[in-house]
């Protein structure tokens, strides 16, 4: 198995999204024609200019006790849409500062979409911890049948909306609200198999029945079970992570152990976004990829 490493993969093909500026713990972003300011703990370098940014429509204020609130300078719609290539996504500022989309993941959408399109055969993909379904929609648009799994019903409904917005409501997508590990084990018993697996495991999580998820304790167990779900000729296995507790090397090592004997190629690194104001890069997470 060949192992390569990358420094950082940049999601720099966006038109409807732009990371305008960063500094002093905050980032200013354009989502379509709406400009939002949100905190980001990795932005520990100072702003280029003192004082607040001007020209934004909404800012998220963190609360000392946890959580936070949005302050809007103009009345915004409850939600709006942005596009990436042929895909359309619903954007909505949530109480947890997120908007329903992680734009840096576009580098991974492009990567596995190309693998699906060029496979020359039907491709089945499993997306675990699928959130609002950007990866699910991208895989379906590329021609795969997709199973989308998340423990939160609201996120699964959001995924269904994104699929409809992208004109994919009739594509073969299964929408599952379930604990990911339990679902994988049931799929094994049912004899289902997948050519590609995508997962974005959280640091901590809780399933519908109160099941506790802790990354360090449960990720390897999940990978072992997912390996049993792969077909005899798998295409890819992608892990995304946003926790500082993992490095890309750790993720690659986990994939190497899980995919032992399968040949192929492993790679890992960071994903990030270019900062329009000064050309810096904002690191936004890590990835590990196995591909045939």
* pLDDT one-digit tens code per residue, 80-107: 999 999 999 999 999 999 999 999 999 9
Largest CA distance in the chain: 60
Question: Which carries the bigger pLDDT value, residue 89 or residue 66?
Answer: 89
For residue 40, the domain's CATH number is 2.60.40.1180
Residues 160 and 140 occupy one common structural domain: yes
pLDDT band at 245 (very low <50, low <70, confident <90, very high): confident
Q: What is the residue-averaged pLDDT of the chain?
A: 94
- What does the pLDDT average to over 278-286? 96
* Global pTM value: 0.95
- Distance between CA atoms of residues 76 and 227, nearest Å: 45
Do 194 and 218 reside in the same domain of the chain?
yes
The count of structural domains within the chain is 2
d(CA 240, CA 271): 9
CATH number, domain of 106, equals 3.40.50.150
Same structural domain for residues 270 and 202? yes
- Expressed as residue numbers, the domain containing 66 is 17-76
Q: How many residues does the chain have?
A: 292
High-pLDDT (> 70) share of the chain, %: 98
Residues 26 and 116 both lie in one domain: no
CA angle 280, 136, 255 (to 5 degrees): 70
Q: pLDDT by residue (tens digit) across 178-222?
A: 999 999 999 999 999 999 999 999 887 776 666 777 888 889 999
Report the percentage of the chain scoring pLDDT > 90: 86
71 shares its domain with 156: no
Residue 275: closest CA among 2, 12, 19: 19
């Amino acid at each position: 198995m060949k192992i390569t490493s990358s420094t950082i993969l940049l999601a720099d093909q966006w038109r409807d999204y732009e990371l305008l500026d960063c500094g002093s713990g905050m980032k200013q972003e354009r989502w379509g024609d709406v400009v939002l300011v949100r905190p980001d703990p990795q932005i520990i370098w100072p702003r280029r200019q003192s004082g607040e940014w001007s020209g934004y429509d909404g800012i998220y204020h963190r609360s000392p006790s946890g959580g936070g609130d949005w302050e809007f300078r103009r009345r915004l719609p409850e939600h709006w849409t942005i596009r990436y290539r042929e895909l359309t996504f619903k954007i909505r500022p949530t109480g947890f500062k997120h908007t329903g989309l992680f734009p840096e993941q576009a580098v991974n959408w492009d990567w596995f979409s190309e693998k699906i399109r060029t496979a020359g055969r039907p491709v089945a993909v499993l997306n675990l911890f699928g959130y609002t379904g950007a990866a699910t929609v991208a895989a379906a648009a590329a021609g795969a049948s997709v199973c989308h799994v998340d423990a939160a019903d609201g996120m699964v409904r959001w995924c269904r909306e994104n699929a409809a917005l992208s004109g994919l409501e009739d594509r073969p997508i299964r929408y599952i609200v379930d604990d990911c590990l339990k679902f994988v084990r049931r799929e094994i018993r049912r004899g289902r198999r997948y050519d590609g697996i995508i997962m974005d495991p959280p640091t901590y999580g809780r399933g519908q029945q109160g099941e506790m998820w802790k990354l360090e304790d449960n990720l390897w167990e999940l990978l072992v079970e997912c390996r049993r779900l792969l077909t005899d000729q798998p295409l890819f296995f992608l892990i995304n992570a946003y926790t500082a507790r993992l490095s890309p090397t750790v993720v690659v090592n986990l994939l190497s152990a899980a995919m032992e004997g399968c040949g192929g190629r492993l790679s890992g690194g960071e994903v990030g976004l270019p900062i329009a104001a000064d050309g810096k890069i904002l690191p936004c997470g890590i990835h590990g990829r196995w591909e045939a």
